[in-house]
Amino acid sequence: DAKTTQPTSMDCAEGRAANLPCNHSTISGNEYVYWYRQIHSQGPQYIIHGLKNNETNEMASLIITEDRKSSTLILPHATLRDTAVYYCIVLSSMYSGGGADGLTFGKGTHLIIQP
Amino acid sequence: ETGVTQSPTHLIKTRGQQVTLRCSSQSGHNTVSWYQQALGQGPQFIFQYYREEENGRGNFPPRFSGLQFPNYSSELNVNALELDDSALYLCASSMTGESYEQYFGPGTRLTVT
């Protein structure tokens, strides 16, 4: 699976859009970009994933560059409850009985939403 | 829809002892994965169970073992506990073959003294 690089920490004002970057320059053609977050003292929470096209759901938007070497997770209107560690994970598409690798969590970005 | 639950919430064991942690998967999910999260680190993949068999394993020794039951719930067993086993143990459920969209429980905090 491709390695990812994320800033260690970021601040964002409450109500503003939080833009979290992720570099994955060695990503291969069949690898997806997944985003999870972990709020303090809770288990990780799935946010969104994508392959090539930009994706949006009720939580966030995922923008993937055309060359797929980097992506940005966007929280459109950040609230204090969005303070968490955000993990960008790149891995192959669905496995099918051949053995699962599991998610590989790096250090992530600690996003702090300021009131 | 019932979420992923884990028990117990906290546990204190002595070095050399054995421990069993339990996980109930989200309704409709047939796959369970276990992760270990040391303080200040990201979760590390231990193994995954699908159809009651181990379906993948991370870099953990054999003293970490598991079970999955017909109702898709799961157990993580750790033998000969070491001080470094102190961590948050997370269980995640998913539907195999769909994606790596996994749903995590709140975890069990294990302290080994």
CA dihedral A60, A65, A67, A71 (to 10 degrees): -50
- Give the H or E element holding residue A90: strand A84-92
- Please name the residues in contact with B68: beta carbons below 8 A apart, sequence gap of 6 or more: B32, B49, B50, B51, B52, B53, B74
B55–A87: do the CB atoms touch at under 8 Å? no
Structure tokens at A92: 């192959």
Tokens 């086993």: give the residue: B85
Q: Give me the residue from B98, B101, B104 closest to A43, CB to CB.
A: B104
A94–B98: do the CB atoms touch at under 8 Å? yes
The verdict on B113 touching A (C-beta cutoff 8 Å) is: no
Predicted confidence at residue B100, as pLDDT, reads 80
Predicted confidence at residue A104, as pLDDT, reads 86
Please give the DSSP secondary-structure letter assigned to residue A81.
G
A96 has pLDDT over 50:
no
Q: Write the burial class of residue A59 (CB in 10 Å: 0-12 exposed, 13-18 middle, 19+ buried).
A: middle
The verdict on B72 touching A (C-beta cutoff 8 Å) is: no
Q: Give me the residue from A43, A96, A106 closest to B106, CB to CB.
A: A43
Share of chain B above pLDDT 70, in %: 95
State the pairing for strand pair B108-112/B10-13. parallel
Predicted confidence at residue A102, as pLDDT, reads 83
A95 has pLDDT over 90:
no
Tens digit of pLDDT for each residue in B67-84? 999 999 999 999 999 999
Range in A99-108, B14-23, B36-45 the model is least confident about: A99-108
Q: How far apart are alpha carbons B47 and A64 in whole angstroms?
A: 30
B42–A108: do the CB atoms touch at under 8 Å? yes
A103–B102: do the CB atoms touch at under 8 Å? yes
Distances (CA, A) of B66 to A75, A91, B85, B91: 37, 24, 16, 12
- Reduce the DSSP state of residue A20 to 3 states and report it: strand
Closest CA to A97 of B25, B97, B66: B97
